[in-house]
Chain A
Amino acid sequence: MNNVIDLKEIETIYEGEKIPVIRNINFAVEQNDFVSIIGPNGAGKTTLLETINGLLDYASGKGFVFGKEIKKNKNIIRKNIGYVIQNFELDPRAPFLCKDIVMSGRTGKIGIFKFSNKKDWETVCKSMSLVGMIDFANRPIGKLSGGEFQKILLARALAQQPSLLLLDEPFSNLDFSSRRQIEILLNRIHKKENITIIMVSHDLSFVPAGCRRVVVLDKGQIIMDDKKEKILKSEIINNIFKKKEGGN
């Protein structure tokens, strides 16, 4: 099994609920792929990402990441998965410095009962430089703009030196210039660092140039999985997004 991700007939249900959020998911990703998962709000994109890194348990099916079954090896596989969570509201007075947040990405990798050393701090500096945020190392995290905060979260995930990067709506709440900067950054990271990237977005126009494959998720199911060019030209996809926009 050489795939980085291999999901077979996966179904995920939230605790206390009966209807699965995602179902019949068959999804395989090869090493160094850059895949965008797109779909309207409520399609199950975040659930799919959190099923991949084991934050949510699947109710049925089989899921493998790095050839290991997700359910049995959650903590092991997570050490090699960088996760950039959907932009969340942070208290502007939160008592954390950017460098500490980026270092927190390495916590699992360093391991319990061990302390961060000079090499760990070098990795932190390297990932902050990569996202162009090295000058912000000693700034309070709550003082950053949306774009800067997003870059720090990305640096945090990169400091983990992951083999797989999961990005949940990395462009949400960003203005055009910040969005463009992060898009360029993702393309660069993908080329330079040889990382497999899965990115979810609710907007068709947010698919980065470096991404070759697009998966369309609607109502918890994969309805299309093809090359980016084909998907973007598809009538079906335009209808889904038009219908949702009309409904709103």
Chain B
Amino acid sequence: MIEIPLALFLTSVLGAILAGFSCSTMGVFVVRMNLSSIGYCMSHAAFAGAAFGLMVSIDPMIGAIIFSFATAFILGPLSEKARLESNVVIGFLFSFMIALAFIFLNLIPGQAASAKALRILWGSILSVTPNDVLLLAFLSALIIIFIVLFYKELLSVMFHRKLAESSGINTKFFYFAVLFFTGIAVSFSLRIVGGLLVYALIINPTSTTYQFFYDFKKIIIFSPIVGIISCIVGYYVSLMSDFPIGASIVIVSALFFATAIAISPKRRKKNGKKPV
């Protein structure tokens, strides 16, 4: 087991909990709105942006935010108007962003910076700073306010966007608000979970929760709980085994999802028939 100072331990645990909360809460909307492909590209764009930040010697988080927002604001309207197939989006942008990230990583000067870059790739307990925790706490508070204030609008948009629009809701605002918060959640969580894996923290806890509940309110409550538990257990596994924290969190959340699929009451066969 790795021994770390108490202050760093508290900072990193708190960081992991808040990353779990913000990513898996946004996951509820990303999964329901079928934005998975856009979000997937945004997380990899954030990774490329962080690598770019290191290359030009600015805070990697700033680079991550710029790149993920640029992706969201190009892809969002594009996928709305051109109705792009998600496979096309992933196929093109995922590889493009990863290629960009590796070029930037290759151009980072010095050994120390390369180690930093690898931490962004895999995630690291040691790279979490009190500043990261503060930002994640601020973001989590914003997300809670957003959901409480606009719960009825969000539920309406999540059910059917056109119907929501037909009853006088500005659905475009909520579509871009979801992209906006997802982009920030991904960028802020990058140092803990890592650029390659952060997106799993958005998808896995929500997908796990979806296996158990038919009530949207319960999904919103339990998805972050599953996300937080995944992060705490993943953190513990990482400390015990010296695995990268991002990989440990994702493995734990993937195991939760696999178990949920196996025991989901929603998927139980009725009268010998498979659920439709």
Q: Do A and B come from one complex?
A: yes
Contact residues of A between 105 and 134, Cβ < 8 Å to B: 105-110, 112-113, 115-116
What CA separation (Å) do A143 and B163 show in the bound complex? 20
Interface 9-mer from A62-70, A75-83, A183-191 = A75-83
In the bound complex, do residue B276 and residue A107 qualify as a contact, i.e. CB atoms below 8 Å apart?
A: no
Please name 22 pairs of A and B residues whose Cβ atoms are closer than 8 Å in the assembled complex, sorted by A: A15-B81, A78-B165, A78-B168, A83-B167, A85-B160, A85-B163, A95-B32, A96-B155, A97-B216, A100-B216, A100-B217, A104-B159, A106-B167, A107-B153, A107-B155, A107-B167, A107-B168, A108-B168, A112-B150, A116-B152, A143-B214, A153-B163
Chain B interface mostly: helix
Q: Identify which of A92, A93, A97, A104 contacts B164 (C-beta below 8 A).
A: A104
B-chain residues with CB within 8 Å of residue A81 when the two chains form the complex: 166
Q: Identify which of A79, A85, A93, A115 contacts B168 (C-beta below 8 A).
A: A79
What CA separation (Å) do A140 and B266 show in the bound complex? 11
1/0 per residue B148-178: CB within 8 Å of A?
Answer: 0110110110111011111111100000000
In the bound complex, do residue A79 and residue B81 qualify as a contact, i.e. CB atoms below 8 Å apart?
A: no
Q: Identify which of B155, B156, B166, B213 contacts A83 (C-beta below 8 A).
A: B166
In the bound complex, do residue B215 and residue A95 qualify as a contact, i.e. CB atoms below 8 Å apart?
A: yes
Tell me if B110 counts as interface (CB < 8 A to partner A): no
In the bound complex, do residue A78 and residue B166 qualify as a contact, i.e. CB atoms below 8 Å apart?
A: yes
In the bound complex, do residue A104 and residue B167 qualify as a contact, i.e. CB atoms below 8 Å apart?
A: yes
B-chain residues with CB within 8 Å of residue A140 when the two chains form the complex: 214
Chain B min CB distance to A200 (Å)? 14
A-chain residues with CB within 8 Å of residue B153 when the two chains form the complex: 107, 112
Chain A min CB distance to B183 (Å)? 23
- B binding-site residues for A, Cβ under 8 Å: 32, 81, 149-150, 152-153, 155-156, 158-160, 162-170, 210, 213-219, 266, 275-276
In the bound complex, do residue B163 and residue A83 qualify as a contact, i.e. CB atoms below 8 Å apart?
A: yes
What CA separation (Å) do A241 and B136 show in the bound complex? 62
Tell me if A196 counts as interface (CB < 8 A to partner B): no
In the bound complex, do residue B216 and residue A95 qualify as a contact, i.e. CB atoms below 8 Å apart?
A: yes
A-chain residues with CB within 8 Å of residue B158 when the two chains form the complex: 96
In the bound complex, do residue A93 and residue B210 qualify as a contact, i.e. CB atoms below 8 Å apart?
A: yes
What CA separation (Å) do A97 and B215 show in the bound complex? 6
Chain B min CB distance to A53 (Å)? 6
In the bound complex, do residue B163 and residue A96 qualify as a contact, i.e. CB atoms below 8 Å apart?
A: no
What CA separation (Å) do A106 and B166 show in the bound complex? 11
Nearest 8 CB-CB pairings of A with B:
A108-B168, A140-B214, A104-B156, A83-B166, A108-B167, A78-B168, A79-B168, A107-B156
Residue of B nearest to A80 (CB): B168
What CA separation (Å) do A101 and B156 show in the bound complex? 7
In the bound complex, do residue B152 and residue A85 qualify as a contact, i.e. CB atoms below 8 Å apart?
A: no
B-chain residues with CB within 8 Å of residue A94 when the two chains form the complex: 159, 214
Residue of A nearest to B218 (CB): A95
Residue of B nearest to A15 (CB): B81
In the bound complex, do residue B162 and residue A101 qualify as a contact, i.e. CB atoms below 8 Å apart?
A: no
